[in-house]
């Protein structure tokens, strides 16, 4: 598994490639830990290049959603059909703190909405 | 045992280490190719077997081995048996792992048609995962 980061409208995007399993899920957990600790409201994982995820990886997503609760959401971009099915089985896709996007443009629109709402509050 | 009883049977043994989960998954992929599994079956097996192996690795001691054996029965049941030298634990040992390890068994149950866990006569635990190929059982579920 490889992880690289980029930014989308000020939100950290983690691009993951390869297989996420029990042997390496800890690295993904450490990666998302930084924005979580910093208090970021939105975290995005681009899973386009992930061909396998197991409960070790799913648990990192679940715990990220839990930690973002009442604060924001975790977005996942373009998981393949198999990965997506696992996320559905564990109930992630119906969680209010989880957003599924088919591409980055969709994710960007959702982030802009958050930014718009914040500006509206001020 | 007659040849007809098991139309397909393969086995691998790996050291019980998380780094070997990939090797276990490559083995399941080979089996899926050999048997020309269709649809989601291959992926479902890969996840379920890998989860069972991860569980076995966690609960096996150092320097222990993991054995994965696959058998296709004449009635089109495909069974993977993952055997280790440790004791199966339903609940995670450490509370901080609660999010992860606790998900393995529910995933196996969700993806397979039958999941059995039993203690071996020689010690250790076997997780048996069965899929009914052809999908008749699964469609009615």
The 3-class SS string of A26-63 reads HHHHHHHHHHHHHCCCEEEEEEEEEEEECHHHHHHHHH
B90 pLDDT above the threshold of 70: no
| pLDDT 10s digits, B13-53 | 999 888 999 999 999 999 999 999 988 999 999 999 999 99
Q: In chain B, what percentage of residues exceed pLDDT 90?
A: 50
Distance CA B37, CA B43 (A): 9
CB pair distance less than 8 Å for A56 and B100? yes
**CA closest to B43 among chain A residues:** A82
Looking at residue B135, its pLDDT comes to 58
**Interface probe, candidates B52, B95, B100, B104, chain A, greatest A C-beta count within 10 A:** B100
| pLDDT 10s digits, A22-42 | 999 999 999 999 999 999 999
Question: Which residues on B lie below 8 Å from A23 (Cβ)?
Answer: 18-19, 21-22
Looking at residue B1, its pLDDT comes to 44
Looking at residue B140, its pLDDT comes to 43
| pLDDT 10s digits, A50-106 | 999 999 999 999 999 999 998 999 999 999 999 999 999 999 999 999 999 999 999
CB pair distance less than 8 Å for A25 and B100? yes
Determine the average pLDDT of the residues in A104-111. Answer: 96
Tokens matching residue A54: 């197991």
Q: Positive or negative, the Cα torsion across A61, A31, A48, A12?
A: positive
Q: Positive or negative, the Cα torsion across B133, A94, A77, A42?
A: negative
CB A33 within 8 A of CB A51: no
**CA closest to A57 among chain B residues:** B100
Tally of structural domains, chain B: 1
**Interface probe, candidates A21, A30, A57, A82, chain B, greatest B C-beta count within 10 A:** A21
Task: Report residue B86's pLDDT band, with 50, 70 and 90 as the boundaries.
Answer: confident
Residue B95, chain A, CB below 8 Å: the answer is no
CB B60 within 8 A of CB B86: yes
Range of the domain at B30: 3-140
Q: What is the CATH number of the domain that holds B14?
A: 3.30.565.10
Tokens matching residue A60: 């990192």
Sequence ranges of the domains in chain A? 2-121
Query: Which has the higher per-residue pLDDT, A121 or B19?
Result: B19
B89 pLDDT above the threshold of 70: no
B128 pLDDT above the threshold of 70: yes
CATH T-level assignment (fold) for domain A2-121: Transcription Regulator spoIIAA (3.30.750)
Looking at residue B101, its pLDDT comes to 56
Q: Show Cβ contacts of residue A12 under 8 Å, excluding neighbours closer than 6 positions.
A: A5, A34, A35, A40, A43, A44
Residue B46, chain A, CB below 8 Å: the answer is yes
């Amino acid at each position: 598994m490889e992880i690289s980061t980029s930014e989308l409208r000020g939100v950290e995007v983690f691009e993951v490639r390869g297989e996420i399993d029990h042997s390496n899920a800890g690295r993904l957990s450490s990666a998302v830990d930084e924005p979580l600790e910093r208090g970021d409201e939105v975290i995005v994982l681009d899973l386009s290049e992930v061909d396998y995820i197991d409960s070790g990886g799913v648990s990192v997503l679940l715990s990220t959603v839990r930690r973002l609760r009442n604060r924001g959401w975790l977005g996942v971009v373009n998981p393949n059909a198999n990965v997506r099915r696992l996320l559905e089985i564990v109930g992630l896709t119906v969680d209010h703190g989880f957003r599924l996007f088919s591409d980055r443009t969709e994710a960007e629109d959702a982030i802009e909405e958050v930014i718009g709402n914040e500006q509206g509050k001020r | 045992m007659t040849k007809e009883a098991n139309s397909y049977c393969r086995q691998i043994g790996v050291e019980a280490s998380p780094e070997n989960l990939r090797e276990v998954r490559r083995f399941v992929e080979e089996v899926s190719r050999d048997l020309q599994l269709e649809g989601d079956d291959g992926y479902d097996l890969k996840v379920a077997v890998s989860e069972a192996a991860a569980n076995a690795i966690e609960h096996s001691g150092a320097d222990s081995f993991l054995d994965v054996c696959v058998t296709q029965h004449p009635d089109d049941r495909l069974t993977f048996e993952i055997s280790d030298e440790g004791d199966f634990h339903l609940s995670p040992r450490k509370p901080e792992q609660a999010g992860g390890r606790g998900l393995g068994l529910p995933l196996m149950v969700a993806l397979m048609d039958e999941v059995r866990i039993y203690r071996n006569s020689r010690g250790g635990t076997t997780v048996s995962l069965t899929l009914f190929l052809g999908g008749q059982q699964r469609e009615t579920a």
